Structure 1
């Protein structure tokens, strides 16, 4: 009996060691995209078209799809966001879709333990949110299913699901303004340097908000530093305030400092703005 058991264990061990690792037909990918001060991470597998009719055939209409292959696709949000106009708290979720010819229902699902789409184990009551998006035609065949991001700003972006000749765009928004206001308050209350004031002013200028406060901060930065990029941001803030004559003076100072440091690109950018704002003054 002992001999039989020993041989059985040996055979089981040989089977384990004999398992062959092989390339996957739908390779795994992880993508991390920054948006403002936040991150979105997606983990999914990428099936290929291989000459097949995809949507409405390989991926049937009206049935749950794992948005990829193999395990269910997972999406992780570092902060609270809105997807498709629906509020989604920070966390990790399964991403599913119910494709149709003219509309897709996208599902952010709380149960991340299901294999693939879950089929009979999937329970709609575990959906966190559902929202509808319209598919659009893609100009060329996307062979391997692709999830990517585009139109990225400080406050949002689009997540694109692309396969074959179909694309679905999911709008994502994050309240970076609130997050930044908290950081700004903390930074300005903790012995700010000229660089701190510059960074706050630059952020406000880039967002196109509160130009007067941005001007106060950039002037504070210039009290402790005299650099081409400080003056460049000041010129752009003054442009936002419609003070073109003052913007030209700041840009000329930025141009001179940039030239002294061999920063040709800043010389050109300042010259272009000076020409533009001089034209405004002549109108």
Structure 2
């Protein structure tokens, strides 16, 4: 009995040692995309067309597809998001699709344990939700299946599923402004520096909101950190939005002078352009 057990163990060991590590026909890939303060991470495999008809062929219409190859594609969001009106809570999901000629159903699935598409083990009741998207025909050929992101703002990003000459787009939304308001309150309550106040003000200016608060933050940044070309630059833009063109000109002139001394030619040009425009507005008042 001992000899039999010994040979069974030895055979298993030899078998495991004999395995060859070979290149994958559908290599693994991972894409991470920041959206504001949030991040979307997708892990998937990238099959090639190899001259085959893909949608309606290798990937039959109406049947579940793992959105790639090998194990199921996984998508992780590190904060709550929206996808065409559906709430996608923070977490990891399996990503599936049911391609059709005229539309696709894209599925965010809560069970991440299935290999591939799960086939008979796949249970629609475990779907978090499904969305319908319209596939788009491309004027070029994409050999290896590709998942990428485009049209990225602080609050939105489009995930693109591209293979052969077809692309399906899945839009994501996140409330970055709400996150930023909480972050600003937190940072300003702890031990704010000139840079803290400047970054808070710049964010408000870029978003076009709360200009009066932004101006207060910039004054505190200048008080704590002294004159900087970037603080005076943003202050001039805020003052312009508040309709105070005279103050905007003075702030831009200060920014220009400091930028010129530091060799920041781009800021010299941008400030001079604004000074010329705002001086005209001052005359019209």
Shorter-chain TM-score tier: over 0.9
CA distance in 1, matches of 2:132, 2:279: 49
> Is the 1:85–1:171 contact (alpha carbons within 8 Å) kept by the matching residues of 2?
no
**Secondary structure of the residue that 1:49 maps to in structure 2?**
coil
Shift of 1:21: 0.7
- The answer on whether the counterparts of 1:36 and 1:155 sit within 8 Å (CA) in structure 2 is yes
- Consecutive unaligned residues of structure 2, counting only runs of 5 or more, are none
**2:58 and 2:214 mapped to 1: Cα distance?**
55
2:192 aligned with 1:192, yes or no? yes
Matches within 5 A, 1:1-283: 2-224=2-224, 225-278=226-279
Local SS of the residue matching 2:160: strand
**Count of residue pairs the alignment pairs up:** 283
Deviation for aligned residue 1:195: 1.6
Distance (Å, rounded) in 1 between the aligned partners of 2:194 and 2:46: 48
> Residues 42-74 of structure 1: CA distance to partner in whole angstroms, max 9, x if unpaired?
100001111111111111111111111000000
Normalised by the length of structure 2, the TM-score is 0.93
Q: TM-score, normalised by structure 1?
A: 0.94
- Displacement of 1:269 in angstroms is 2.5
Q: Tell me the SS of whatever aligns to 2:190.
A: coil
Task: State the alpha-carbon separation in 1 of the partners of residues 16 and 191 from structure 2.
Answer: 62
Distance 1:58 1:248 in 2: 64
Counterparts in 2 of 1:239 and 1:144: CA distance versus 1, 3 Å: farther
Q: After TM superposition, give the deviation of residue 4 of structure 1 in Å.
A: 4.3
* TM-superposed deviation, 1:139: 2.5
SS for the counterpart of 1:189 is helix
Structure 1 residue ranges without an equivalent (≥5): none
Please identify, of 136-145 and 110-119, the stretch whose mean Cα deviation from structure 2 is larger: 136-145
Compared CA separation, residues 138 and 272, structure 1 to 2 (3 A): farther
- Alpha-carbon distance in structure 1 between the residues aligned to 2:149 and 2:245: 37
